[in-house]
Amino acid sequence: MGLFSFIKGAGQKLFGKKKEEVAPVELSKIDALKQEVTRLGIPVSGLDIELAEQVVVSGMTQTNADREKIILALGNVDGIACVSDNITVTNPEPQSVFHEVKSGDTLSKISKEVYGDPMKYNAIFEANKPMLEHPDKIYPGQILRIPVA
């Protein structure tokens, strides 16, 4: 549990550009965030998301990996600057480290920096599925999970 910071202007564009009244906008953004977690197929029960100046997420999941993926799926959305994590993990394992992608980064470059071996990039790719669809599709400002070696 904790508070995770993200780059507000970087990320997937889930929210429309229409100006609406405050209540409908908040409801549609929450629905869009819930739909994104569902689309990615990350298992969680009792998912509840509140959106204020930050996303507040709670629920229960089996592993830290799924907890971290939910945090990243919500935080790597354009317009989200912060995710407050209140997710309970029933079978905790070691937590991953989060890494912010810089301009010019590749998974191989990050792998060499973190593990000392550029060929271990697939471990980073696998740890970030289903949010990453291809190892070459990363962008500056994106936050990735770096699993323990």
Helix axis angle for 22-40 and 64-75, nearest 10°, is 140
In the chain the domains, ranked by start, together with CATH numbers, are 2-89 (no CATH), 97-146 (3.10.350.10)
Please state whether beta strands 55-61 and 45-51 pair in parallel, antiparallel, or not at all (unpaired): antiparallel
SS (H, E, C) 46-106: EEEEEECCCEEEEEEECCHHHHHHHHHHHHCECCCCEEEEEEEECCCCCCCEEEECCCCCC
Total-model pTM = 0.74
pLDDT (tens digit per residue) in 80-125? 889 999 999 999 888 899 999 999 999 999 999 999 999 999 999 9
